[in-house]
Chains A and B, each alone.
Chain A
Amino acid sequence: MAGIQIQNVCVDYPVEGRGVRRILNGINLDIEAGEFISIVGQTGCGKSTLLRLILAEEMATSGRILVNGKTRTQPDRTCGYVPQRYSLFPDKTVLANITFGLEVSEFGPFGLFNPARPKRMREFRAEALRYLRRTGLHEADGRKYPHQLSGGMQQRVAIAQALILKPPVLLMDEAFSALDPGTRTGMQRLIKELWRESGTTIVFVTHNTREALCLGTRVVALAKDSTGERGASVALDLSVPHLDFDSNEEEIHRLIREVESATLPVCIPREETATVYN
């Protein structure tokens, strides 16, 4: 399983007529292989930017990110990805969505006429059905198109689609944010179970503190730095105890308050950042 090293990463975005604006400032984070890490923070603090950096969809202005000890220049199979929206291909059935990764990895873009294809596709479909059932869906759902599924079912398929390739790292960007509370709880339990089974390293970005606390074995808060690079976010590795869905409500509320106060703008002298920010 893969670990992720984020080393002194800064990200600047150009602002028209005003030079650049720093979004992330000196982020350092070591994520061990097999960890389930929650990244929490207020809207606009750069959570999704950090995820896109790990994904290699975006490049850092300075610093580097290693996944499995390697830097990457574009997204690849090293990291699975479950976004909040548009996670499925609308033109493909559920089964075709799940088998897409296996198929395209083996046969490439124009492998329709490969003689080995029919046999392999049968195997892929059998494997996809196994994942479909594991994520709580029925075989009949495999023939449906994504728009015929509810939001929760779509995210279940998206998780199956990512996990069937057994990626060392799974990145989830507000993956359950658009779901109703009941469905959301079910999905949280599912992803936790799948994580325990697969041992995949999961980086879960959310603005929901309760979700972050109940899912992650470690919680990292991104908070805007009110000193130094004003407005840029820094990472605070919070030493909060790991909670479960059945943990004491009072304890959960106390920790939510603790974490939420950590995501407020911080005021820490720059020389101290190395010790405080992981």
Chain B
Amino acid sequence: MSFLRIHAQPGRSVSLVLSWFLFASGITAYFYASAARHRDNPDDRVTPTIAQMVQGFRDAASKPAPEHEDLGDAPQTTFARIQSSMLWTDTAATSRRFLISVALLFPAVLIGLHMAMFPYVGAFFLRFFQFFDKIVALSLLPIIFIAFGIDELSKVMLIVIGVAPTIILDTFNLTKSVPSEQIVKAFTLGAGDFAIAYRIAFRQIMPRVLNSIRLNLKSVMLFLFAGEMIAASDGLAIRIRLMQRQMGMDTIIPYVLWVALLLFLVDLGMNLLNRKLHPWFEET
């Protein structure tokens, strides 16, 4: 069993084959099952063929949502048609909520930084956020809808409440891990408390904080989808839910892959941004 050796060194081509093997076998298994089901029942909607999925995605990307089809004449240019398409409007709605939520996580980073740098602020907030972090955000959903209504604010609040405590505590721990020698050194160089907090600690933790936010992007999307599925009129999640009622797997599967692709691109973008902004940071 030479492949179960700690010091084994798989070659480049072997690594390539291994890393794509599960993708290839998953896709093959799906299309085998899909073909078999379609042989038995040509109208099968559970496992759409690749042609059906391509058609479903093309329709989503070029036609307006069914609830908007009666709104005036169809746009003429391709760009205008894409802009009013179901996929575009859903992606824009979800992205807007997503970006607002991620932007609202920035104050969470500052809270965590101040908690770690200034003991009074830490004593004030730490226990509260440690407790708050244990509350399952989705269990607060009814309270959030009652308190903030069912419009945009409630969905954003769900994400903030769900993810902010984790980011705060993560930032707190990262700031605490800045070596004390650096803090003392900065004092001896004439830096004051805020200069040390922002010019030393904040700059050193930023790449790791960005990594932490990257790792929490899936949680952000999870809370966003939960909020959208329960109370939204547009967005990727509510579209998947509406399609589920119609057994529209030819649209659901491309939508799921589209969401994964978007999240992958955001993750990739943040990673590249992190490298660009912090060339000194090697862990990225």
**How distant is the Cα of A145 from the Cα of B278 in the complex, in angstroms?**
11
Do residues B188 and A55 form an inter-chain contact, with CB atoms below 8 A?
A: yes
Is B182 a contact of A100 with CB atoms below 8 Å? Answer: no
By beta carbon, the residue of chain B nearest A52 is B184
A108 — which chain B residues lie within 8 A by C-beta? 192, 195
Report yes or no: B195 in contact with A109, Cβ–Cβ below 8 A. Answer: yes
CA gap between A32 and B282 in the complex, in Å:
45
Distance, CA A81 to CA B179, complexed state (A): 14
State whether B189 touches A101 (Cβ < 8 A).
yes
Per the bound structure, the CA–CA distance linking A83 and B281 in Å amounts to 22
Contact: A83 with B181, CB < 8 Å?
Answer: yes
Question: In the complex, A91 Cα to B208 Cα: how many Å?
Answer: 12
Q: Contacts A87-B181, A104-B199, A109-B194 hold; do A81 and B204 have CB atoms under 8 A apart?
A: no
Stretch at the interface among A9-17, A70-78, A208-216: A70-78
Q: B188's contact among A86, A89, A90, A167, by CB below 8 Å, is which?
A: A167
Asked if A101 and B184 sit within 8 Å, CB to CB, the answer is no
Which residues in window 167-187 of B have CB below 8 A to A? 179-182, 184-187
Q: Kindly state whether residue A233 has any CB partner on chain B within 8 Å.
A: no
Residue of A57, A79, A147 most packed against chain B (CB within 10 A): A57
Given contacts A89-B204, A91-B203, contact A100 B181 (CB under 8 A): no
Cβ contact within 8 Å between B204 and A91:
yes
Tell me whether A137 is interfacial, beta carbon within 8 Å: no
User: Which of A86, A87, A91, A109 contacts B198 (CB under 8 A)?
Assistant: A109
Contacts of B188 in A (CB 8 A): 55, 75-77, 79-81, 162, 167
List, in ascending order, chain B residues with CB within 8 A of A86's CB. 179, 181-182, 185
Q: Tell whether B191 is near chain A: CB-to-CB under 8 Å.
A: yes
What residues on A are CB-neighbors of B179 within 8 Å?
85-86
A161 to B189, CA, bound (A): 8
Instruction: Decide yes or no whether B200 CB sits under 8 A from chain A.
Output: yes
A252 interface residue (CB < 8 Å to B): no
Q: How far is the CA of A141 from the CA of B200 in the complex (A)?
A: 21
1/0 per position for A138-167, CB-CB distance to B under 8 A? 000000011100000000000001100101
B280 is an interface residue with CB less than 8 A from chain A: yes
Decide if A275 is an interface residue (CB 8 Å cutoff): no
Contact A145/B279 with A105-B190, A109-B192, A109-B194 known, Cβ cut-off 8 Å? yes
Q: Which of A85, A91, A146, A147 contacts B181 (CB 8 A)?
A: A85
Which of B187, B195, B198, B282 contacts A147 (CB under 8 A)?
A: B282
By a CB distance below 8 angstroms, the chain A residues around B195 are: 104, 108-109
Interface residues of A, count at CB 8 A: 31
> Which residues of A from 78 to 130 have beta carbons under 8 Å from B?
79-81, 83, 85-87, 89-92, 100-101, 104-105, 108-110
Q: Which residues of B contact A109 (CB under 8 A)?
A: 191-192, 194-195, 197-199
Task: Kindly state the separation between the CA atoms of A145 and B204 in the bound complex, as whole angstroms.
Answer: 13
Distance between Cα atoms of A11 and B77 in the complex (Å)? 80
Residues of A within 8 A of B190 (CB): 76-77, 101, 104-105, 165
Contact A74-B199, Cβ < 8 Å, known A86-B179, A89-B182: no
Beta-carbon contacts of A52-77 to B below 8 Å, as 1s and 0s? 00010100000000000000001111
Q: In the bound complex, how far is the Cα of B2 from the Cα of A246, in angstroms? A: 58
C-alpha spacing A97/B280, complex, angstroms: 13
Residue ID in chain A nearest B200 by CB atoms = A89
Looking at the assembled complex, report how far the CB atom of B212 sits from the nearest CB atom of chain A, in whole angstroms. Answer: 17
B11 CB to closest chain A CB (Å) equals 31
A77 contacts B282, C-beta separation under 8 Å: no
B residues apposed to A, CB below 8 Å: 179-182, 184-192, 194-195, 197-200, 203-204, 278-282
16 of the cross-chain contacts (CB-CB < 8 Å) are A74-B187, A77-B190, A83-B181, A85-B179, A87-B185, A90-B280, A91-B204, A92-B203, A101-B190, A101-B191, A104-B186, A108-B192, A109-B192, A109-B197, A161-B189, A162-B189
Q: Which A residues are closer than 8 A to B by beta carbons?
A: 55, 57, 74-77, 79-81, 83, 85-87, 89-92, 100-101, 104-105, 108-110, 145-147, 161-162, 165, 167
User: Given A101-B191, A109-B199, list of 19 further CB < 8 A pairs?
Assistant: A55-B184, A57-B184, A74-B187, A75-B188, A76-B190, A80-B188, A89-B186, A91-B203, A91-B278, A91-B281, A100-B186, A108-B192, A109-B195, A109-B197, A109-B198, A145-B280, A146-B280, A161-B189, A165-B189
User: What are the 9 tightest A-B residue pairs by CB atom distance, in nearest-first order?
Assistant: A101-B189, A109-B195, A105-B190, A75-B187, A86-B179, A86-B181, A109-B194, A145-B280, A83-B181
